[in-house]
């Protein structure tokens, strides 16, 4: 397992205690800070000077990134492929630790708690993830969701206990009406869009505070994409959502804030409309105007 050294550096007020004040702007460096709008809910996740290095790579895949993730908003991560979006996302629930030789600097706070101090199974139930490829397990639809609900120590709870929770997760993911009549069907028989919504149901079933989505629509047709985007809109009321997308139109549609990354660096972070209509950095302007990427 990868070794995670203690945080080496923090951006912001030097020497200040590592307490996250949702209203504090100090911890976020200019020019990023201009984006902090007061209208959003409490900060759920704080990415604080995070760098991630893969073994053998010359430069870090993610370099000194600081970002807030708040309740009630969708944060869209954009940038050309290979710029570190997935790596950053995977560090938020410490999945990046599964990669041998990967190391992380900086801190990630979930509701004020350092994720390195959280028990990993608990962390991953609070910060749930959707992947690029729909990846249901080779089980029935019901079992896919039930598997997520069962906690480690739980002896198999009966269907009676699980069924209402499975139903509510499937409803939240907007899949219930399509599958209710045959929950015992193998999940892999569903269409791609349904599979991805099943994965969302699975991720919601653990009742997370933060939902990470890594290009969740890139394997889906336009109609399924629309359904999933609709879902993201509804879910952000109750969850903080971070979505990686290389589809700028999608970032614009679903994002409340957008963070643009380039070669591991966070170049710009701004409210969505502002980033697209009035980007500050030249790189951002080139990218959103389609000059590269």
Ligand X SMILES: Nc1ncnc2c1ncn2[C@@H]1O[C@H](COP(=O)(O)OP(=O)(O)O)[C@@H](O)[C@H]1O
Residues in the site for ligand X, rule: CB under 6 A? 54, 57, 61, 79, 81-87, 99
Q: Of Mg ion, other proteins, ligand X, none, which one does residue 57 interact with (CB within 5 to 8 Å by kind)?
A: ligand X
Q: Of Mg ion, ligand X, other proteins, none, which one does residue 84 interact with (CB within 5 to 8 Å by kind)?
A: ligand X
In the complex with Mg ion, the residue whose CB is nearer, 145 or 254, is 254
Strands 113-114 and 210-214: unpaired
Report the C-alpha gap between 124 and 290 in whole angstroms. Answer: 35
- Our finding on whether 81 is near other proteins (CB under 8 A) is no
Residue 96 C-beta: closest distance to other proteins, Å: 10
Report the C-alpha gap between 211 and 68 in whole angstroms. Answer: 14
Report the C-alpha gap between 228 and 197 in whole angstroms. Answer: 7
- Our finding on whether 113 is near other proteins (CB under 8 A) is no
Helix (H/G/I), strand (E/B), else coil: 262? strand
Dihedral of the alpha carbons of 225, 236, 78, 14, in degrees to the nearest 10: -170
Tokens encoding 213: 């989505």
CB 165 within 8 A of CB 131: no
In the complex with other proteins, the residue whose CB is nearer, 124 or 236, is 124
Strands 127-130 and 210-214: parallel
Give the dihedral sign, CA 121/174/211/235.
Answer: negative
Q: How many CB atoms lie within 10 A of CB 222?
A: 9
Q: Which of 63, 86, 225, 284 binds Mg ion (CB under 5 A)?
A: 86
- Our finding on whether 87 is near Mg ion (CB under 5 A) is no
**Across 96-135, where does the E strand assignment appear?**
103-110, 113-114, 127-130
In the complex with ligand X, the residue whose CB is nearer, 60 or 68, is 60
Element (H, E) at 251: helix 248-254
- Our finding on whether 104 is near other proteins (CB under 8 A) is no
- Our finding on whether 282 is near other proteins (CB under 8 A) is no
Residue 22 C-beta: closest distance to other proteins, Å: 26
Backbone angles phi and psi of 292, in degrees to 5 = -150, 175
Residue 203 C-beta: closest distance to ligand X, Å: 19
- Our finding on whether 21 is near other proteins (CB under 8 A) is no
Residue 236 C-beta: closest distance to ligand X, Å: 22
Q: Of Mg ion, other proteins, ligand X, none, which one does residue 61 interact with (CB within 5 to 8 Å by kind)?
A: ligand X
Q: Of Mg ion, ligand X, other proteins, none, which one does residue 87 interact with (CB within 5 to 8 Å by kind)?
A: ligand X
CA 250 to chain centre: 15
Which residues have C-beta within 8 Å of that of residue 257, sequence separation ≥ 6?
Answer: 35, 73, 74, 75, 76, 269, 270, 271, 272
Residue 154 C-beta: closest distance to other proteins, Å: 11
In the complex with ligand X, the residue whose CB is nearer, 83 or 187, is 83
Binding stretches for other proteins (CB under 8 A)? 93, 95, 98, 120-125, 128-129, 131-133, 135, 137-140, 143, 147-148, 151-152, 184, 186, 188-189, 199, 202-203, 206
């Amino acid at each position: 397992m990868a070794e995670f050294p203690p945080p080496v550096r923090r951006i912001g007020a030097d020497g200040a205690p590592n307490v996250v004040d949702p209203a504090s702007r100090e911890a976020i460096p200019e020019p990023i800070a201009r984006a902090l709008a007061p209208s959003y809910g409490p900060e759920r996740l704080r990415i604080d000077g995070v760098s991630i290095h893969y073994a053998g790579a010359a430069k870090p895949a993610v370099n000194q990134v600081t970002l807030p993730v708040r309740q009630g908003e969708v944060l869209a991560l954009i940038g050309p492929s290979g710029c570190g979006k997935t790596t950053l996302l995977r560090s938020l629930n410490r999945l990046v630790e599964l990669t041998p030789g990967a190391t992380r600097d900086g801190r990630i706070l979930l509701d004020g708690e350092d994720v390195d101090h959280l028990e990993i199974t608990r962390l991953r139930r609070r910060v749930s993830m959707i992947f690029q490829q729909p990846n249901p397990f080779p089980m029935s639809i019901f079992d896919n969701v039930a598997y997520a609900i069962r906690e480690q120590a739980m002896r198999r709870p009966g269907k009676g206990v699980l069924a209402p929770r499975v139903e509510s997760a499937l409803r939240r993911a907007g899949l219930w009406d399509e599958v209710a009549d045959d929950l015992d069907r193998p999940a892999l028989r569903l269409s791609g869009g349904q599979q991805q919504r099943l994965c969302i149901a699975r991720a919601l079933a653990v009742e997370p505070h933060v939902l990470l989505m890594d290009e969740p629509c890139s394997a889906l047709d336009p109609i399924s994409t629309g359904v999933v985007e609709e879902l993201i809109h509804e879910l952000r009321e109750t969850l903080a959502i971070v979505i990686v997308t290389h589809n700028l139109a999608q970032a614009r549609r679903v994002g409340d804030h957008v963070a643009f990354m380039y070669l591991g660096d966070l170049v710009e972070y701004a409210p969505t409309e502002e980033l697209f209509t009035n980007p500050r950095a030249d790189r951002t302007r080139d990218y959103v105007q389609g000059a590269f990427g």
